[in-house]
Amino acid sequence: MLRICLFPGTFDPVTLGHVDIIDRALPLFDKIIVGIGLNAAKEPMFSAEQRKEWISEIYKDKPEVEGAIYEGLTIDFCKKINARFILRGIRYVSDFEYEKTIADANRTMDRSIETIFLTGEPKYTSVASTIVRDIIRNGGDASPFLPEAVFKTLKK
C-alpha cells in the first residue's frame, strides 16, 4: 500500500518554508499531494490554479509531488485521494497548539488518518504567506522568501 500524504494549506503564495517542509517529507512518503484548500473565509491574492501551477513547476522533476485543489473538509479529501497521512509544518509553539486541535478533530472523525508534524528550518520561521503577501502588496522585494518559480511569475 502506497504511503500517500496530503499537505493541505492555502499556499498563497508558495514560500520557501512550504518547500522546506515538502522536501524534508519526501523520504517519508511515496506520494505527497499538496492540497490547495479553498477557504470561503479567506480572500486569496493568487488563484488556486496559479498556486497549483507553482507546485507543478517547482516539482516538475519530482513525480511523487503533485498539486490538487479541494474544497470542504481535509479529512474527506484524504479519503478521496487515499491519503493515510496529513502533513503539517510547525514554526512556533503556537502553531503546534492550533494544529494539534485540528489533528485531534481529524482523528475523531477518522482514526485511520494520522497527522505528521515537521518543524521548519529555523531560517524559514519568519516566512509566512501573510507577511509575503504584505511585502508584495506594498511593492517590496519578496524574493528572499519565495522559490524561483514563484518569483519569476511575480516579476512579469
What is the CB neighbour count within 10 angstroms for residue 115? 17
The pLDDT tens digits for 44-73 are 999 999 999 999 999 999 999 999 999 999
Q: Rounded to an integer, what distance in angstroms lies between the CA atom of residue 133 and that of residue 59?
A: 22
Give pTM, 2 decimals. 0.95
Q: Rounded to an integer, what distance in angstroms lies between the CA atom of residue 118 and that of residue 37?
A: 20
Q: One of 18, 51, 52, 88 is an active-site residue; which one? A: 18
Task: Indicate the DSSP class of residue 127.
Answer: -
Distances (CA, A) of 125 to 20, 51, 57: 11, 21, 24
Q: One of 24, 84, 91, 100 is an active-site residue; which one? A: 91
Name the pLDDT band for 40 (thresholds 50, 70, 90).
Answer: confident
| CATH number where 98 lies | 3.40.50.620
SS3 state of residue 110: coil
Task: Indicate the DSSP class of residue 141.
Answer: -
Q: Which amino acid is at 129?
A: S
How many structural domains comprise the chain? 1
Q: Could you tell me the residue range of the domain that residue 9 belongs to?
A: 4-155
